[in-house]
Amino acid sequence: MNSPQVSSDAFRLNGKVAVVTGGGSGIGRAIATTFAAAGAIVRILERNPSDAERTCQLISQASGNASAYQCDVTSQQQVRSTLNTVFNKERVHILVNNAGISNIGTAESTSEEDFERVFRVNVKGYYNCMQAILGHMREHGGGVILNMASVAGSAGLADRFAYSMSKGAVIAMTYSVARDYVNHNIRCNCISPARVHTPFVDDYLRKTYPGRETEIFEKLSRAQPIGRMGEPDEVAALALFLCSDQASFITGANYPLDGGFTNLHG
């Protein structure tokens, strides 16, 4: 019996339009550049226009197609207006909800202001984008939504009360949207990474542990049983699979990408 062959077109997104929020740096930039390399037309929603333009330049230099829109995902009006501008030009096939912020603190030490700030970006921001795009996808025969969650949403992480709250909500929203829109050919999944080495991590170490950056980096790396942090490109590779036609049987799933943190921890 012949073994099954993987098509050379596997994991391609040729001609598909993908909206990536927070695509100006870190995981978002890796997803945007990976999708573009796979043939997608990338539209970046980003608060920081210079970061977004840098991602577009990287894609353009690799002969890809990308453009950026300045948008604050916490503003429903801005999200609707920005996405309507995109819809008037083209059909959107993929939404990657990636824009997010972190916060350090327990339930006692987290201020109301910080709690609400995390909620606005990490929860309301995802809701705003999904609410604005679901009708468009339904009317055009379907689509794919991928939400960036975190192991913090399903595992107890010390001093991450507000962040864990927000990522738990992301997982729940993913399940809900997957259930409500499965009959409209709209798939919705999420990825839950453990620590990923991004510029955010480096900035956090510089600000919080000056002079001890290497020591703390190694400690944080060892928190994953595999012995290191993840890389943005590794998250992007899983994102590409989940948004490709090869994942057409997958919806309502939360994928740990965590170096064994969830199941091997202890």
Q: Which of 69, 126, 163, 255 is catalytic?
A: 163
DSSP string across 162-221: HHHHHHHHHHHHHHHHHHHHGGGTEEEEEEEE--B--HHHHHHHHHHSTT-HHHHHHHHH
Cα(124)–Cα(166) distance, rounded to whole angstroms? 9
Instruction: Judge whether 163 counts as a catalytic residue.
Output: yes
Residues with a catalytic annotation lie at 163
